[in-house]
Structure formats: C-alpha cells, structure tokens
C-alpha cells in the first residue's frame, strides 16, 4: 500500500470525527485515536452491499469532551475528492456532551460529502427514516451493559444493508437477539452510495480534549486480556447484492493510531478483539 493510499484511508476514517466539530460540539483542538479493520478500496471488485456484526456494549464514566464508540460503517470514496465521500455508520457510543449522561447510546450517522455540508447523527436532520414499530430509535440508551470482569456480556447485533428492491440502506438492530429493521437511509440521500459501497470498516474510536487523556475504548481492557475481558466483534459478515451474509474469514488491513493505548487483533473465524484503557495525550 502506498503512503498516499494509506493517508487517504486515514483521512476518510476521520470524516466521522469532523462531523462532531461541524455540529456545534466544541472538541477542537482534540485527540482522536482509533483501532479498526477496513477493506482496501479502489479496485473494480470493491462492490459491497452491507456489513453485519455483533459487538459487546460497555459503560464508562466519561467526562464532557470525551467520547468513545464502537461502530460499523459502509462507505464509498466517490471520485477521490473529500467532498464526494459517502458513508453510513451504526454503532454505540458514550458521548456525555451530547446526551448529558455517560451511558452507551445506539447511534447512526451519515454523509454524502465528507461532512462538508450534509449528514448528521441520529435524526438531527432529515435522513434516517424510523420504521413503524421499531424497537429502538437512534439516540436511545442501551441497557443493561456488560459487566467485566465478571463475564456478563451484553451485546448488540447490527446490519447495514442495501435493499435490492428499493435501493435504500436499511439498519437492523438486535439486543442479545436476532436483529430486526429499525429504519433506513433513502437511496436518494446519496450520490455514490446510491449504487453500492466500495469500502467496509469496523472497530473502535475515542476522542478527548487535547488537554485531557483519551477515555477507555471497548471494555477498557487490551485485547490480550482475552474474550470475557476485552471487547469483541463477532459474527462478522459481508452482505452481498442479494442480501446474503458471508462470514469474514480472511483478515482485513488494520489502522491503529497508538497501540500503547488501544489495539485490535487480526480477524479469526469472523471475530476479533479490540480496545484499551486509553490514557493517550498529545
């Protein structure tokens, strides 16, 4: 991979962080750290129609100006310009400055121009359409949470997939259960994602004011703590054009900004561990 390609991937990954700052959240200057897996992109065979994952949910006492998330996202890099970047995210985050609490919340986010002028969290702007009778809405708190190290794991299963008939991108959510559709992003919201995605990614990220240290990622334990202590992604699957999910058995490239604070393991049998205690400062 060339340095330029790597840099572009890092910049693309940071687009979701830019949204924090363009929505009136005063986190600048700030520290952003992440540990993710993502598919390469740029080839003619990079055609994706969705991603499936189960992730543990944890609670941490964060301070205003700190933010911690685990998420999956489907993206299209458009013509390579930042303004053509299309993306959908779904996951859980702890974000005291937004919600006024330190609980994990289910969230979604989207953009069609690298967050230059479009996109938002949850239903802050026209975009995500909630399904009638949905069990949860973006922004709702998730409870209970996993209890580490006692081994009580609570998890959510998410699917983001393109409906073959309508072309809309549906979000499925399940709490310790099979996911059901909770809403969708209309095809008309997007430019390049209107047809397909050309990159998939999943992992964790944390943010903090530059004067403060980063909060815990995942469970707050490094992956070498093993399953039951470290946070995990399991049941990882790529969704094809027909809506079928194929387990991810081969490893994806990783992007880890600071392995002294957070890390993510290789994919093994459609699963991986990630996270760390935080404490990074710059």
pLDDT tier at 114, thresholds 50, 70, 90: confident
Task: Give the global pTM.
Answer: 0.90
Q: Work out the average pLDDT over 180-187.
A: 98
pLDDT of residue 18 exceeding 70: no
pLDDT digits (tens, 9 = 90+) for 64-85: 889 999 999 899 988 888 889 9
Mean pLDDT of the chain: 88
Tell me what pLDDT residue 43 has.
Answer: 63
pLDDT at 107 over 80: yes
Dihedral, 125, 16, 194, 188 alpha carbons, nearest 10:
10
Beta bridge partners of 72: 90, 202
Q: Is the pLDDT of residue 44 over 70?
A: no
Read off the pLDDT band of 32 (50, 70, 90): confident
For the chain, domain boundaries:
3-275
pLDDT at 8 (0 to 100): 44
For residues 250-255, average pLDDT: 90
The predicted structure's pLDDT at residue 75: 94
Q: Which pLDDT score, from 0 to 100, does residue 190 have? A: 98
């Amino acid at each position: 991979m060339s340095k330029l390609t790597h840099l572009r991937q890092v910049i693309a990954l940071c687009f979701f962080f830019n949204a924090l700052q363009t929505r009136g959240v005063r986190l600048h200057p700030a520290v952003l750290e992440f540990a993710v897996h993502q598919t390469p992109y740029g080839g003619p065979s990079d055609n994706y129609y969705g991603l499936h994952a189960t992730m543990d949910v944890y609670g941490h006492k964060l301070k205003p100006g700190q933010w911690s998330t685990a998420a999956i996202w489907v993206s299209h890099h458009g013509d390579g310009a930042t303004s053509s970047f299309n993306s959908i995210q779904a996951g859980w985050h702890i974000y005291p400055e937004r919600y006024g609490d330190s609980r994990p919340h289910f969230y979604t986010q989207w953009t069609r121009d690298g967050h230059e002028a479009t996109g938002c969290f949850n239903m802050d702007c026209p975009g995500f359409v909630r399904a009638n009778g949905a069990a949860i809405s973006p922004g709702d708190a998730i409870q209970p949470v996993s209890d580490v190290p006692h081994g009580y794991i609570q998890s959510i299963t998410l699917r983001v997939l393109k409906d073959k008939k309508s072309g809309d991108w549906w979000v499925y959510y399940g709490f310790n259960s099979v996911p059901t559709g909770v809403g969708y992003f209309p095809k008309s919201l997007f430019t390049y994602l209107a047809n397909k995605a050309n990159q998939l990614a999943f992992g964790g990220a944390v943010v903090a004011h530059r004067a403060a240290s980063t909060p815990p990622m995942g469970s707050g334990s490094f992956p070498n703590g093993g399953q039951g202590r470290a946070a995990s992604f399991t049941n990882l699957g790529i969704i094809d054009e027909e809506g079928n999910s194929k387990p991810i058995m081969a490893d994806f490239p990783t992007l880890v900004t600071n392995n002294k604070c957070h890390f993510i393991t290789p994919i093994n049998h459609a699963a991986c561990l990630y996270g760390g205690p935080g404490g990074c400062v710059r």
